[in-house]
Amino acid sequence: MEGGPIVRDADRDDVMAVCRFGEEHVRAWWAPLIGEEEAARRVRMWWNATDIAGAVARGAVVVAEDGGCLSGVGQHDFDGGEHVIRKLSALPRYRGLGLRLLEVLIGRLPVDVERVYAEHLVADERAGAFFEREGFTVERAGPSADPRLGVVRRSRDR
């Protein structure tokens, strides 16, 4: 597709494709970082049809599509009064797509939102470096018996 992937709101017809994206790509990315079993467990927990369908219905999911194929996914949630980027994943061959997804997600937040949060696995140093480059600073790193399995919460002014 000329010009690369298009980023758009996900709709209910995208739910299963988003789930497959998690199963095929996110799980493969996480497995070397946190182990195959834990990666599979977290994908089942966070990339399942029920949760994805609910997020899509809330208008919280964007997808990037190139030639009819999913090339990236982003999702935000509202958690305790905070707007949190929970999913942000793009296929490696689409350099810069993660930033586009992030910009679209942030751009869709209510205009009065002054601060945005993002979460990623402690073990995902690449995600940490990405968010750091984009101006996010660490708020906290979630506790876990295995430090790789914790979650880092970052924030930045909008």
Residue 27 in this model has a pLDDT that exceeds 80 = yes
In the predicted structure, residue 64 carries a pLDDT above the cut 60: yes
Distance of alpha carbon 128 from the chain centroid:
12
Is pLDDT above 60 for 145? yes
145 vs 65: CA distance, rounded Å: 38
pLDDT for res 117: 97
pLDDT (0 to 100) of residue 22: 98
Q: Is the per-residue pLDDT at 38 higher than 50?
A: yes
User: Does position 120 have pLDDT exceeding 60, yes or no?
Assistant: yes
More confident residue, 26 or 80: 26
pLDDT of residue 141: 86
For the segment 75-92, the average pLDDT, to the nearest whole number, is: 94
Percent of residues, the chain, with pLDDT higher than 90: 88
Of residues 15, 78, 24, the one with CA closest to residue 48: 15
Residue 48 burial class via C-beta count within 10 angstroms: exposed 0-12, middle 13-18, buried 19 and up: middle
The mean of the pLDDT values for the chain is: 94
Q: Could you tell me which residue, 145 or 99, shows the higher pLDDT?
A: 99
CB burial of residue 90 (10 Å; 0-12, 13-18, 19+): buried
Q: Which two tokens stand for residue 130?
A: 């990405």
pLDDT at 1: 42
Supply φ then ψ for residue 12, to 5 degrees.
-60, -25
Domains of the chain: 6-157 (3.40.630.30)
What pLDDT does residue 100 have? 97
Averaged pLDDT, 60-87: 95
